Amino acid sequence: MTEAAQAIISFVDLKMTFKNRVLYEHLNLDIQKGDFFCLLGSNGTGKTTLIYLLLGLLTPSDGKIWLNPEMMTKNDIGYVPQFRNIEENYPLSIENFVALKLSHSLRPWLSRSERLQVRQALEKTNLWQKRKQIMGKASGGEKQRAYLAQAILNQPKLLILDESTASLDQQSKYDVLDLVAKLNRENQTTIIFISHDWPLVKKYGKHYLELFPGKFKYGKVADLAEN
């Protein structure tokens, strides 16, 4: 199989502008299946916009983003948002919070296979023992792992982390990223990791795209100079 055939996502001559401001143009880049791909760049350079384009929530000004239909559909994308603290009185347990993603309007209870899905996601994120913990009273790292558990419930082929570890303490950041790296290694889950945290990028990332006002560069994280 050729290298190109392994691409799970291709940016094809992508251009995005808001009013007269060009965020990027002529962006041609493949993300390979199983990559740990880091999206870098200072505030306002268009990282979140690129994810919205990928999710189909925005339309490119020109070019396109191609998702390899033999490898995934939009339903195979898991998304872990920026860390949001949850009010202390938020009444759901971690387990019920994770299961929320499966709730149906017709049937308020979970089927046996859905319960198994929740259990597996809690086990993979090391939350099974903590499942009865009230979400609002969980630690920052536990809350973020609960979001990660939600995002991996459907065993996504692509997992996007949008500065998800930015406000966690050092240990919790590495705990969350170790779990993500395990999914990447063992399940070949492709990761897109948006971060400003160079030590994390250096430790876990394989390839990167760095956005600058109106331009970009990409390559292997190992080749990226420290400054």
Ligand X SMILES: Nc1ncnc2c1ncn2[C@@H]1O[C@H](COP(=O)(O)OP(=O)(O)OP(=O)(O)O)[C@@H](O)[C@H]1O
The Cα–Cα gap between 29 and 209 comes to: 9
Smallest gap from Cβ 164 to ligand X, in A, equals 12
Shortest distance, position 188 Cβ to ligand X, whole Å: 27
Q: Tell the smallest beta-carbon distance from residue 144 to ligand X (Å).
A: 17
- Check binding of 212 to ligand X (CB under 6 A): no
* Residue ranges in 82-141 that form contacts with ligand X under rule CB under 6 A: none
x/- mask, ligand X, residues 2-41, rule CB under 6 A, reads ----------------x----x-----------------x
Q: How far apart are CA 169 and CA 209, in angstroms?
A: 25
Q: d(Cα 145, Cα 219) in Å, to the nearest integer?
A: 29
The nearer residue to ligand X, 81 or 140, going by C-beta atoms, is 81
Closest separation in Å from C-beta 84 to ligand X: 14
Q: How far is CA 90 from CA 26, 128, 194, in A?
A: 45, 19, 28
Q: Of the candidates 7, 31, 47, 197, which one interacts with ligand X according to CB under 6 A?
A: 47
Is 60 one of the binding residues for ligand X (CB under 6 A)?
no
The yes or no reply on residue 164 touching ligand X (CB under 6 A) is no
Nearer to ligand X, 77 or 138 (CB): 77
Q: For ligand X, which residue of 9, 24, 36, 45 counts as binding (CB under 6 A)?
A: 45
Using CB under 6 A, which of the segments 26-34, 44-52, 65-73, 213-221 binds ligand X? 44-52
Q: Give the containing element (helix H, strand E) for 124.
A: helix 112-124
What distance in Å separates the CA atoms of residue 151 and residue 137, rounded to the nearest whole number?
21
Shortest distance (Å) from residue 51 CB to ligand X = 8
Position 157: which residue type?
K
Binding status of residue 48 toward ligand X by CB under 6 A: yes
Residues facing residue 7 across a β-bridge: 32
Residue 205: C-alpha distances to residues 31, 39, 103 (Å): 13, 10, 34
For residues 28 and 35, give the distance between their C-alpha atoms in angstroms, rounded to a whole number.
Answer: 17
Contact between 50 and 56 under an 8 Å Cβ cutoff? The reply is no
Is 167 among the residues that bind ligand X (CB under 6 A)?
Answer: no
SS3 state at 33: coil
Task: Point out which residues bind ligand X (CB under 6 A).
Answer: 18, 23, 41, 43-49
